[in-house]
A and B are shown apart, each in its own frame.
Chain A
């Protein structure tokens, strides 16, 4: 036990000074608390470097593009590429605690970004013909397999498969409006989505209903 002559108090601590008045303590110390190491921002340097590099790259590419205008306008690709990178990275980090939700979010952003890229780089329709249907199919299969293999709580990944199946029906719109030229993948995607949704409702209908009741309680 240490003692503070200023406060006239016994202090149980390993500190050199009194926590109340900062006067020197005398006596032998022991503490009831461990010294807690800094847990703050272990990865912050990595992200700072990444952000600095992104900004440097973006600024440099705009500058270089302006210096050699005869090369055509291309710096917006770099800028948009940087944006895509950060959005995907941030969603991945934010959703890292739940694999199904993480996959679902990646599916969403990949579909959106592929559409935008396709439109930016002379529309060929590769996004709606290939990327969106493939992503949805892969996600549904991956979620089903991961859910079973990792024994995830059913409530979590089933709901994600359902939402993914809803995304997966969107290519039907592309098909019906004649937007898609390569129809095999789009139709496969719609079929897989419908089958997955049907399976879930047949085998886990009650669970899905109770899950919805929880999530939507007012």
Chain B
């Protein structure tokens, strides 16, 4: 505690916006949960968490306000395992409070890891969860730990990869068109409603491959179609736009467990096109092949970097910056209707995988968000929403049910919610 030099980090480029934009309703907290085959033992989980926290030093940082920027500062706080008693993806960061930016809770057979997006993205959180679950299972069943196949050097983990791969920093030009927005009455207490479906990965992949597209593209088309059917005719002037975060580690070598993603936008205009599923799919595939290109992606995050490196922007005091960045953020979110993020396959060593029933991921949102991950031949599709209406979810899951009759729905919504 009394050491002279406190370690600290600047926020990475993607994290810069989150602290200003986070509110009680939109917390920027996401949750990974892992369902095991036996009820959780809190003491063993705490021991596993203590060990895991030591492997991920950046997770122990707290968010502070500087004069010009927010920053992350090392802290001596210890994460404590709690029974799940807070609302799903509730706020982890409160202005001026020094609290850890992640939390681990359990309920029944499930371990939940909730993380504030400032700290890391899905990849970093997956590494953390996998390590935590492995250490927990190793303790419970007396199994030896195995390598999970990610870089464990602390400096690589703390790398700001945006800076590493930025070649220029130019402001993005061109105005983004406004997208169609979902509306309706919201859940009480600004809660996040989750409906998730688990289905066979094989069935979904077969369907995607039959159309010669990727799983993400197929799901994006399903989601656009589900949203599109819901739009009244007169409101079809604006396109339905999906915001799809792309994991940049697939395009730029990086072992960072901090944020390293950039969004791409897939737009479909129901007023100009016929709205058939095949047409949507064609549009999505075309956008994917155009946008998912190393140079295109680099250009995108370099654009975001330009603001951070602008000399005038840098010396504006944080209080003013907060106001500006909040406006920028609200403008940027009006450019999309919903978010789809695919974490991909979460892998665990064979010996541990047999004790795991499922891994799921979901994200707090003030719109509609789909988070997808797959584990052990099952795809988990979590739809979170702040609205009481579940029409989009209904259409999406009914469509997916046609692919796999074994689709199982789970929800945190109670009877009086929706």
Task: Write the residues of chain A forming the contact surface with B, with a CB cutoff of 8 angstroms.
Answer: 1, 4, 7-13, 15-17, 19-22, 31-40, 94-95, 97-98, 101, 151, 153-155, 206-207, 210-211, 214-218
Contact in complex: A101, B71 (CB < 8 Å) = no
- Chain B residue at minimum C-beta to C-beta distance from A17: B415
B73 interface residue (CB < 8 Å to A) = yes
Is B94 positioned at the interface, with any CB of A under 8 Å from its CB? yes
**Inter-subunit contact A7/B394 (CB<8 Å):** yes
A217 to B317, CA, bound (A): 11
CB–CB A19/B409 < 8 A: yes
CA distance A155 to B2 in the complex (A): 9
CA of A186 to CA of B288, assembled, Å: 71
* Chain B residue nearest in CB terms to A151: B1
Which has the most chain B C-beta neighbours within 10 Å: A11, A95, A206? A11
User: Roughly how many angstroms separate A94 CA and B85 CA in the complex, as a whole number?
Assistant: 24
List, in ascending order, chain A residues with CB within 8 A of B350's CB: none
**Contact status of A40 and B189, CB under 8 A, knowing A19-B418, A33-B107:** yes
In the complex, which residues of chain A have a beta carbon less than 8 angstroms from the beta carbon of B398? 7, 9, 20
Inside 8 A of A11's CB, which chain B residues have their CB?
408-411
**Residue numbers in A under 8 Å from B394 (CB-CB):** 7, 20-21
- On whether the beta carbons of B189 and A32 are closer than 8 Å, the reply is no
Chain B interface residues (CB < 8 Å from chain A): 1-2, 4-6, 8, 10, 35, 64, 66-69, 71, 73, 75-76, 83-88, 90, 94, 96-98, 107-108, 110, 188-189, 191, 194-195, 314-315, 390, 393-394, 397-398, 401, 405-415, 418
Please name all residues of chain A whose beta carbon is closer than 8 Å to the beta carbon of B415 when the two chains form the complex.
Answer: 15-17
Task: Answer whether A10 and B96 are a contact pair too, CB < 8 Å, given A17-B415, A34-B84, A34-B85.
Answer: no
Q: Which of A1, A19, A94 is B195 in contact with, Cβ under 8 Å?
A: A19
Give B390's nearest chain A residue, CB to CB.
Answer: A20
Q: Which residues of A contact B110 (CB under 8 A)?
A: 32
Known: A10-B407, A39-B189. 6 other contacts (CB 8 A): A13-B409, A15-B415, A33-B84, A36-B86, A214-B71, A218-B69
Q: Which of B68, B96, B397 contacts A95 (CB 8 A)?
A: B96
Contact B4–A33 (Cβ < 8 Å): no
Contact (Cβ within 8 A) B68 A218: yes
Residues of chain A lying within 8 A (CB to CB) of residue B98: 97-98
Bound CA span A31–B412, Å: 8
Q: Are B414 and A20 in contact (CB under 8 A)?
A: no
Complex Cα distance A169/B220, Å?
63
Across-interface contacts of B88 in A (CB, < 8 A): 33, 36
Q: Are B418 and A8 in contact (CB under 8 A)?
A: no
Are B412 and A20 in touch, CB under 8 angstroms?
Answer: no
For B195, give the chain A residue with the smallest CB separation: A19
Cross-chain pairs A/B with CB under 8 angstroms, 11 sampled: A8-B401, A9-B407, A9-B408, A12-B408, A20-B409, A21-B394, A33-B107, A207-B4, A207-B6, A214-B6, A217-B10
Q: Could you say which of B8, B408, B414 contacts A10, with CB atoms under 8 Å apart? A: B408
The 7 closest A-B pairs by CB, nearest first: A97-B97, A20-B394, A33-B412, A19-B411, A218-B314, A215-B66, A10-B408
The answer to whether A214 and B4 have CB atoms under 8 Å apart is no
How far apart sit A91 and B412, CA to CA, in the bound complex (Å)?
A: 36
Name the residue in B10, B97, B394 with the highest tally of chain A Cβ atoms < 10 Å from its Cβ. Answer: B394
Interface centre among A40, A214, A217 (most CB of B within 10 A): A214
A9 to B400, CA, bound (A): 10
**Residues of A contacting B414 in the complex (Cβ-Cβ under 8 angstroms):** 15, 35
- Bound: A1/B96 CA distance, A: 44
Q: How far is the CB of B39 from chain A (nearest CB, A)?
A: 13
Instruction: Output the least CB separation between A155 and chain B (Å).
Output: 6
Contacts of A40 in B (CB 8 A): 188-189
| Cα–Cα, bound, A137→B36 (Å) | 58
Q: How far is the CA of A40 from the CA of B64 in the complex (A)?
A: 26
Instruction: Name the one of B2, B86, B406 contacting A39, with C-beta atoms under 8 angstroms.
Output: B86
Known: A34-B84, A94-B96, A153-B1. A12 touches B410 (CB 8 A): yes
Residue of A nearest to B198 (CB): A12
**Given A38-B189, A97-B94, A218-B315 contact (CB < 8 Å):** yes
CA distance A37 to B405 in the complex (A): 34
A214 x B66 contact (CB < 8 A): yes
